[in-house]
Structure 1
Amino acid sequence: MLLGYAGTCRLLHYGLSIMPTLPSSSATSLFSFQRANDAAPESVSLLNREVLGFFDELRAPLLRYALSFGLSIHDAEDTIQEVFLALFQHLRQNGSRSNLHGWLFRVTHNLALRRRQRSQAHEVDAPAEDLWLDPSPNPEELLLSSERQAQLRAVLRVLPEMDQHCLRLRAEGLRYREISAVLGISLGSVSTSLARTFARLARTEGRR
């Protein structure tokens, strides 16, 4: 049986967060679209506005996901620029509009992975596991002992990379089928990965 949002709620109860502090950036300064010679100016303007709408909505979660690959903030920002340029080209060429939310995460995954593979040295602004810990105090976090925080970090640190990807995408609100499409794995593999991760976290919680 597939895990529902209850699994994600349990994850949040373990003191994890999907909202690290991200640098602010305006859409106009991050990227600009060139007018295509074979498209009418009005059409390009409409596409610009549509893509900017997606940018405003999804920049933060996509940037968090790019950072989870160990990219520097500069490389992650460049990756997101490439993602939205790819979206513009995709829409301009009348590409499928089915589930563009999942499409953007899939392109981010592929481009971030490619950039990481090309990189000779990884400059990480924060350890990957720390991106899951709430950077600002809240009542729940104040109740967590330093020992518990250390245990959670240890669990996240040893997760296989695919399990980390599944967990991050689920925490960003993607459905199981969307995660399957982004990562190119079966629906059953997504379910198994998340069940395994939640079981590890539950065992850690039980040892408190």
Structure 2
Amino acid sequence: MTPVRSLAPAIYFIAFVSGGVLMGFEMLGSRYLFPYFGGGIGTWASLISTVLCALAIGYFAGSAIVDRNPSQRTIGAAILVAAFWLALVPATADAIMQAILNQLSAGPAATLSASAALLLVPLTLLGTFSPIAVSLLTRSAHEAGRVAGRVYGVSTIGNVAGTLLTTFVLIPSIGSRNITYIFAVVLAACAALLFMMPAQRQTEA
């Protein structure tokens, strides 16, 4: 088995899991924001816009990393930092939301600021995963499109699973803060898996 093929199962697994955590945490974001800013369309617009901005920044950052240090340890480090960020959220979110509400009152600036404070950093870090993963799994230029489609497809399936599982199973069962801690542990485990694997860098076309 070639190094790329030996790495592939873990990469696809983490693409699915991190995709699930990403969208699951967006759903949790609503639970942190709603008590302070309401559950109207403006709050949802802020959450969705923040997620999309975070992914865009993450994709651009990931594509830049591909040209410098595209290793699984690089994405492992990004995932680990995202895990630490999530672990801090339950203890700090209320104070941050209240401070933003006190400074900006209700309105678009407040909901956007609150969404960014909660989601922007960890989701940007998770967004770096896919571009680097594609580079690690691509052995030649002619298969780049197929690999990219698989990585982003698996990640999107994870997005769907994370959205539905978080909304309909986890939130009613164990609550937002406990889920956030679980997500942090899951991401830390994914990072540990990447760190334990033999180093694999981008294959030249």
**TM-score grouping bracket, smaller chain normalisation:** under 0.3
With the length of structure 2 as denominator, give the TM-score of the two structures.
0.23
With the length of structure 1 as denominator, give the TM-score of the two structures.
0.23
Q: Which protein has the bigger helix share?
A: 2
Relative contact order, higher structure (CA 8 A, sep 6+):
2
